[in-house]
Amino acid sequence: MTNGINAVADGVRVPLDLSDAPGRTPLVRLIELEEASNPVKRIYQDIQAFYQTTCVPNVFKVLAHDEGYLHDYWAAVRFVFTDRRLDRLTKEAVALAASMAARSDYGVDLHMREVRRLGLTEKGVMEVIEVVQLFSCYTKIADGLQLEPDFTRLLEAATSGARVTPQR
């Protein structure tokens, strides 16, 4: 979900919502709240309420060119990021990490704002940064050396509920 939003936002150079980013002139016109149709306005209002902000994240102003698509896509985003087994802060932290790993300026800007708004301290932000850095390193080493997974049996046990002794 996050990767999809980021792909659109960075792909068509959507201006960042919170940080200055010179040169990000959108390749698709953004549909602002004042000019939006009533159905789109209602979606925008829902987005504003969800993010507790007066501004609508610019990426949705691109999707608003297709009202039906925006409606369904926003419903999916909202569902994914709503508290369920995982709380919203955890999901936003994961989305921030995914955005950093994907080098998405838009995603980092959006999700950094969200984790802070949801109460993650600067120490917590630093913890996300550390995990991203570590695993960006580990994944490159693993790929470079073509390491074959050796946690597979543990994963199978975890997902099946079975208890197994890991083997070499």
| Interaction site with other proteins (CB under 8 A) | 3, 86, 90, 93-95, 97-98, 100-102, 120-121, 123-124, 127-128, 130-136, 138-151, 154, 165-168
Q: Which is nearer to other proteins, 69 or 135 (CB)?
A: 135
Least distance CB 126 / other proteins (angstroms): 9
DSSP classification of residue 27: S
HSE, side-chain direction, 13 A CA sphere, residue 18: 14
Q: How far is the CB of 65 from other proteins (least distance, A)?
A: 27
Cβ distance 126 to 28 under 8 Å? no
* Distance in angstroms (rounded) separating the CA atoms of residues 116 and 110: 10
Q: Give the DSSP letter of residue 67.
A: H
Q: For other proteins, which is the closer residue by CB, 49 or 145?
A: 145
Rg of the chain over CA atoms, in angstroms? Answer: 19
Q: Least CB distance from residue 50 to other proteins, whole Å?
A: 21
Q: Which amino acid is at 124?
A: G
- Nearest to other proteins of 38, 165 (CB atom): 165
Nearer to other proteins, 65 or 84 (CB): 84
Whole-number minimum distance, CB 136 to other proteins, in Å? 6
Q: Write the Ramachandran bin of 93: left for phi over 0, alpha for psi from -120 to 50, otherwise beta.
A: alpha
